[in-house]
Amino acid sequence: MKHLLLNTFFISICLSPFIVLSQDKEGVKTIKIQKEKFFSKAAFDDTEFKVIAFDRFGNPHEKAITSFTIYYKEDKTAFQADVKGNTFPQKTIDFLTKKKKYATKICLTKIQATDKDGHNENLPDLCDIVIFPDCKKVNKTK
């Protein structure tokens, strides 16, 4: 029994430098985890003048958009309108469709969406959207 204890003590003393040297000398490493975004893109619905968010699976979410900014240009002057919600203001819709004679290019930036857990996400900008004015009835003469 004494011989067995002496052998284990001797082996443990011989292996202890290898155990100490096997430790990392660089310190503790950390792992960074990035949360995967729920929404992937936004789209403009030109029939109802709404902005709709799409999740990473392609499903539309109409009420997810919380705010965005509209940029448009008229006669070398750029305008912007900050919008809360997902629908264009009626004043902007009237200006773009009824008071203009030509089509207008708009750009939607700073698009914010909120998922079901209340987390805000920034979505990519939507540019080169063309809004055409309303068609007017033409009086035909005979």
58 burial type by CB count under 10 A (0-12 exposed, 13-18 middle, 19+ buried): exposed
In this predicted structure, what is the pLDDT of residue 75? 76
User: How many angstroms separate the Cα of 106 from the Cα of each of 70, 115, 128?
Assistant: 7, 26, 6
Q: What is the pLDDT of residue 138?
A: 43
Domain ranges of the chain: 39-131
Please state the separation of Cα 90 from the chain's center in Å.
Answer: 26
- What CA–CA distance (Å, rounded) separates 18 from 47? 73
Say what the pLDDT of residue 15 is: 59
pLDDT in tens, 123-141: 999 888 888 887 764 455 5
Query: What would the pLDDT profile of 21-68 be if each residue is shown by its tens digit?
Result: 555 566 777 888 887 888 889 999 888 889 999 988 989 998 899 999
* Segment 64-92, tens digit of pLDDT: 999 999 988 877 888 888 889 989 888 88
> What per-residue confidence (pLDDT) applies to 54?
92
